[in-house]
């Protein structure tokens, strides 16, 4: 038994039956669904599913009280405008200067410098400073130095939503003096259209890596999906038009299929007293591990192409949001031990979310010696992160930096408790080559 409180921002349950006061706080905007269940002998049940996978089950004595809580949560959990989100009302009693410093903790330019950019092959350009090229990209992007402004602009007009190929990660091999890259892009606008500037853009990417005569173009969609999308103006590169490219379909399902699979997995996890057979059958039918394996296989392919073949890779899907960001980020984590450190993972998260819209959270091998972050740190990201806008332009225009606080200072204050105790250090593992056979997934 206990007391249920509804505030402007949280649902709070205080357990009065325990010897030690126990409180459960649920942020309204974490609530995914609220459901009234049939009457029981104990009272009126209310089932709450949260976006961070928590489930709360309350039994309320009076029907009127249950209905009032139900209707209130429905309204409070569905904000009409961004300013109603908790991030805008959160006030940690921090000075303006401290808040601004929090947003400046991660500087992507420093990561570019770490990768040796700018150099003879790649440059940082402000061509998108007024978001004229692409509203979802940051003002400064990294493109091949050989690509002229006219080529970049021409490619942007040909690519869906103006999402030209931009650099996501650059691996510089000092011993052989080659640069290889993983780039972000989205698929082509048009069924059988051709664009000379876009062909020149890919040629510039390939020639920025003189150590390999070809480059990979990876479409993360299943081939049948890509062919169907092509009729809607979201096609893919024709190898006859692009010189020295090797095209490859990866076959990762879209976000809607992923969500459906995740929902089936959650239903399996919420089964009451399932047998091992029931659980394994439900897990298999959800298809969740197959989706995870597909993303892992794609990341491993990219990493091997860069590491072993010294080939540049251009990655895209239909919109360049979920699959593209997941695969490129995973490849970066496999290739570069810096991104498996506490600070590096923060940088990689910003790289994923800024250049290509909302990205998917990736697990840097928590619970192993290979990553600096404990799974608790990833849980904190899941709890606190909210997507305000998918477009960089709207993010800036809404003055998010002035009205909200960055999550990074909060996590850095708890760095010791969020670190992976098994982590063996930055130099212990350089490039990772995970086994993606089915028995390797837990």
Q: How many CB atoms lie within 10 A of CB 95?
A: 8
Q: Which of 121, 317, 350, 351 is catalytic?
A: 317
The answer to the question of whether 321 is labelled as a binding residue is: yes
Q: What does R_g of the chain's alpha carbons equal in angstroms?
A: 24
317 part of the active site:
yes
The answer to the question of whether 319 is labelled as a binding residue is: yes
Q: How many CB atoms lie within 10 A of CB 258?
A: 21
CA nearest neighbour of 156 among 140, 170, 169, 137: 137
The answer to the question of whether 322 is labelled as a binding residue is: yes
75 Cβ contact list (under 8 Å, min separation 6): none
Sign of the alpha-carbon dihedral angle for 309, 310, 311, 314: positive
Q: Is the Cβ–Cβ distance between 318 and 183 less than 8 Å?
A: no
DSSP sequence for 206-237: HHT-TT-S-EEEEE-S-HHHHHHHHTTT-B--
CA nearest neighbour of 383 among 410, 351, 352: 410
DSSP sequence for 303-322: HHHHHTS--EEEEE-SSSSH
Angle of CA points 210, 201, 181, to nearest 5°: 45
The answer to the question of whether 26 is labelled as a binding residue is: no
The answer to the question of whether 340 is labelled as a binding residue is: no
The answer to the question of whether 254 is labelled as a binding residue is: yes
The answer to the question of whether 103 is labelled as a binding residue is: no
- The DSSP 8-state label assigned to residue 57 in this structure reads E
Distance from C-alpha of 163 to C-alpha of 7, rounded to nearest angstrom: 42
Binding residues for substrate: 254-255, 317-323
Catalytic residue ranges: 317
């Amino acid at each position: 038994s206990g007391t249920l409180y509804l505030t402007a921002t949280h649902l709070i349950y205080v357990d009065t039956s325990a010897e030690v006061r126990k409180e459960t706080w649920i942020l309204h905007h974490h609530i995914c669904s609220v459901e009234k269940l049939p009457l029981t002998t104990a009272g009126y049940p209310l089932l709450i599913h949260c976006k961070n996978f928590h489930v709360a089950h309350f039994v309320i004595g009076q029907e009127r009280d249950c209905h009032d809580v139900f209707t209130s949560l429905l309204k409070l959990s569905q904000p009409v405008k961004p300013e109603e989100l908790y991030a805008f009302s959160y006030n940690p009693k921090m000075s303006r200067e401290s808040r601004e410093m929090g947003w400046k903790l991660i500087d992507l330019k420093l990561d570019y410098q770490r990768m040796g950019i700018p150099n003879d092959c790649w440059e940082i350009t402000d061509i998108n400073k007024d978001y004229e090229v692409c509203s979802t990209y940051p003002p400064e992007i990294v493109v091949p130095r050989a690509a002229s402004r006219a080529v970049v602009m021409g490619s942007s007009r040909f690519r869906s939503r103006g999402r030209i190929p931009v650099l996501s990660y650059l691996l510089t091999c000092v011993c052989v003096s080659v640069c290889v890259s993983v780039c972000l892009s989205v698929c082509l606008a048009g069924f059988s259209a051709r664009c000379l500037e876009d062909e020149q853009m890919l040629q510039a990417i390939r020639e920025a890596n003189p150590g390999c005569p070809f480059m990979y173009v990876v479409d993360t969609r299943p081939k049948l999906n890509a062919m169907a999308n092509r009729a809607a103006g979201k096609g893919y590169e024709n190898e006859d038009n692009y010189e020295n490219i090797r095209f490859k379909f990866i076959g990762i399902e879209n976000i809607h299929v992923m969500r459906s699979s995740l929902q089936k997995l959650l239903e399996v996890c919420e089964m009451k007293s399932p047998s091992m057979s029931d659980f394994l059958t439900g897990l298999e039918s959800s298809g969740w591990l197959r989706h995870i394996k597909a993303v892992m296989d794609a990341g491993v392919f990219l990493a091997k192409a860069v590491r072993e073949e010294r080939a540049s890779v251009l990655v895209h899907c239909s919109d360049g949001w979920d699959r593209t960001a997941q695969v490129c980020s995973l490849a970066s984590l496999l290739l570069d031990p810096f991104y498996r450190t506490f600070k590096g993972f923060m940088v990689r998260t910003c790289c994923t979310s800024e250049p290509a819209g909302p990205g998917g959270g990736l697990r840097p091998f928590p619970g192993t010696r290979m990553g600096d972050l404990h799974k608790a740190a990833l849980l904190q990201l899941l709890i606190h992160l909210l997507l305000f806008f998918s477009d960089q332009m709207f993010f800036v225009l809404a003055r998010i930096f002035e009205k909200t606080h960055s999550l990074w200072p909060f996590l850095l204050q708890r760095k010791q408790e969020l670190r992976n105790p098994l982590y063996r250090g930055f130099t212990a593992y350089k490039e990772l080559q995970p086994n993606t056979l089915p028995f390797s997934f837990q």
